[in-house]
Chains A and B, each alone.
Chain A
Amino acid sequence: MLVVIKVISGQHCNLKSLNSQTALWKSSPHVIIVPMRSILLRLIVCVFLLAGCGGRANGQSASTGVKTIENIGSDTIVNLALAWAEAYQKLHPDLRISVTGGGSGTGIAALVNGTADIANASRAMTDGEKQQAVKNNIQPFEIDIARDAIAVIVNPGNPVNSLTVQQISDIYTGKIANWKEVGGEDRPIVLLSRESNSGTHVFFLEQIVRLGQKDNTDLFSPDTLLLPSSEGIMAEIRQNPNAIGYDGLGYVTSDVKMIAIAAKAGGTYVLPSVESVNAGTYAIARPLFMYTNGQPAGQIKDYIDWILGPDAQTIVAQLGFVPLKK
């Protein structure tokens, strides 16, 4: 397979497990020979890991005429980007597209630091990030690639089926702390969220917690549990009837319950789905972006053009996201 997945945060774990392996080897009877060999092995692996880490770290990666495209960013987009990369490499076997997750912030930081050719982001770049990019002599270019809807999810045992945007905002700022205030059982509400620098978090903060108002400075309640992964949120929702969480529609599994949402009190409650997002009736939907350094050129331009075409947009629909309207 041509797709290379490097999980950045996993690399120190590799080193750690190597350490524990050598610890086990030390307790074996071949005390004299084995540790020597294990040290050698560790050195070799370290060199490889470092090579993997530092490969493109030192400065200007050529953005035209590359054989490898580094594509880093949003965890929301990572499955989609992988599917695209795989399909595109079947058409162009001479090209390697390396897809890495880590979050929108990670992707944008990589683009700004010059280690990524394409950054995936589930939010627009902030002014601070743009200034940082200019400082590093990088001109980010924004491309709208698909749409995503955020589903608000609860445990299937929770009797609450629908909420207004205002109610969800009050729940996440801590003004509503018990399920009975929104028509549920007498249980405390446990708030789940992705880490504060995930694109999903920022989108939810601006669109829901702050109700889309620019001058609103409300924040998530300090009691909000910030979980490092979508899987962490799903695992907690599955077993905890007190919990409420949110995640990209493409990541919601069938063993949790999605909440129907009304934009205003008295409005119609709409469940998130490909149809309702396309129709514009679902309240929490957002565009997904790719960023390149300057106008895409060469192989990167070919790839982006293909992504915006009908074949790639079919893959978008297959993965539970919402294709661009054409």
Chain B
Amino acid sequence: MSSASLKTRRTSFVEFFAERAIRASGFVAIAFVVLIFLFLLLEGLPAITEVSISNLLSTRWYPTESHFGLLPLILGSVLVTLGAAIIAVPTGVLAAIFVAEVAPRWLREILKPMIEVVAGIPSVVLGFIGMIALSPLVRVAFNAPTGLTAFTGALILAYMALPTIISVAEDALDAVPRSYRDAALALGATRWQTIWMVTVKAARSGILTAIMLGIGRAIGETMAVMMVTGNAARMPLSLDSLFMPARTMTATIAAEMGEVAQGSTHFHVLFMIGIVLFVITFIVNFVASIAIFRQTRRSARLLS
């Protein structure tokens, strides 16, 4: 009897600590996000007092000569990320549909691990490949002055976002119950109609999550982008800007943070860029989660 009570006591003892430990790690995660944001604000906000707003909103980025225009950097990031999304979203979703719905079982078993391996390639390696192999091809193919362009960056980013989009979207498609497809086929729908109108619709929120995660990976990527986009802080306003160099916010922070004196104006402005980046990703995630929330409600209504 005494051994049994000892055992229960020990179990409850272990449970007590396990519970506390799990709760603590949950709070630690939140605390880190809050602390990072506070740190960004603390280091970045002095920039507003040190640099005039008109300077921050100008079109010239030349920090060593006190030109702190953020517009070319913001637009550069938007251009490269949008380009990557336009390439990666359709390809990724279609590839996921192929893997989940169309490909025979043996091909699926080969494709899935291969896609996961692609996700593991370090971005520096991709950047190097882009710089040495891809950029000459881009220059010749589009008859551009140089191959280090926003488009080259978009291609590399699309390649990096693809594995995320494919594996998450594929999981979502996989999670659609078999009975939906059977019902659609029984009602006389063709295979294509079943995929497009039933399976993909039912998995819509998961696919949207996949796209958001992929774009999130693209907007935050630094190393590869720094190596292939040419980093010219020009305003991408004309139509051919996609095939001209661009400078992104992440590449700017990475290239300049190491060489700046702590506490200088330039240092604070770099953190300001970090805040802008943080806010943009926050907005993207927020909009996406609202969209996903709506989608689930509607699809839940439709399909329950």
Contact = CB atoms under 8 A, between A and B. Distances in A.
B195 interface: no
Nearest to B234: A222
A13 B223 contact: yes
A225 B146 contact: yes
A13 B135 CA distance: 23
Contacts of B135: 236, 239
Interface in B68-125: 72, 113, 116-117, 119-124
A219 B139 contact: no
Contacts of B124: 13
A197 B231 contact: no
Contacts of A240: 136, 139, 146-147
A176 B147 CA distance: 21
Given A103-B258, A225-B231, A242 B146 contact: yes
A9 B247 contact: no
Interface in B237-273: 244-245, 247, 254-256, 258-264
Interface in A176-233: 187-190, 195-198, 202, 217, 219-220, 222-228, 232
A105 interface: yes
A222 B237 CA distance: 13
A103 B255 CA distance: 11
B139 A23 contact: no
Contacts of A21: 120
A225 B232 contact: yes
B19 interface: no
Interface string A266-280: 000000000000000
Contacts of B200: none
A242 B131 contact: no
Contact of A132 (B62, B63, B263): B263
Interface stretch (A61-69, A106-114, A145-153, A257-265): A106-114
Given A227-B231, A236-B148, A242-B146, A102 B259 contact: yes
Contact of B120 (A24, A109, A188, A195): A24
A26 B117 CA distance: 12
Contact of B260 (A197, A220, A232): A197
B46 to A, nearest CB: 15
Contacts of A235: 131-132
A58 interface: no
B120 A20 contact: yes
Contacts of B227: 228, 232
B261 A190 contact: no
Given A195-B255, A202-B64, A190 B120 contact: no
A106 B146 contact: no
B122 A197 contact: no
Nearest to B226: A228
A242 B59 CA distance: 26
Nearest to B72: A222
A8 B120 contact: no
A254 interface: no
B146 A190 contact: yes
A225 B261 contact: no
A298 interface: no
B230 interface: yes
Nearest to B69: A222
Contacts of A17: 122
B161 interface: no
A192 to B, nearest CB: 9
Given A222-B72, A228-B226, A113 B256 contact: no
A129 interface: yes
B146 A236 contact: yes
Contact of B230 (A23, A24, A202, A225): A225
Given A27-B116, A105-B260, A190 B64 contact: no
B27 to A, nearest CB: 19
A280 B101 CA distance: 73
B145 A190 contact: yes
A217 B64 CA distance: 12
B119 A20 contact: yes
Nearest to A22: B120
A59 interface: no
Interface string A25-66: 001000000000000000000000000000000000000000
A195 B256 contact: yes
Contact of A219 (B65, B226, B258): B65
B145 A196 contact: no
A313 to B, nearest CB: 28
B60 to A, nearest CB: 7
B233 interface: yes
A69 B184 CA distance: 74
Contacts of A224: 232
A17 B120 CA distance: 8
A228 B255 contact: yes
B119 A129 contact: no
B201 to A, nearest CB: 30
A23 B122 CA distance: 12
A93 interface: no
Given A222-B60, A226-B247, 9 more contacts: A108-B261, A188-B145, A190-B145, A197-B64, A197-B260, A202-B64, A224-B232, A225-B232, A239-B147
Pick the 3 closest A-B CB pairs, nearest first: A105-B259, A225-B230, A197-B259
20 contacts: A8-B258, A16-B123, A24-B116, A102-B258, A105-B261, A106-B259, A128-B264, A132-B261, A190-B146, A195-B231, A195-B256, A197-B63, A219-B62, A222-B60, A222-B72, A225-B232, A225-B245, A228-B227, A235-B131, A235-B132
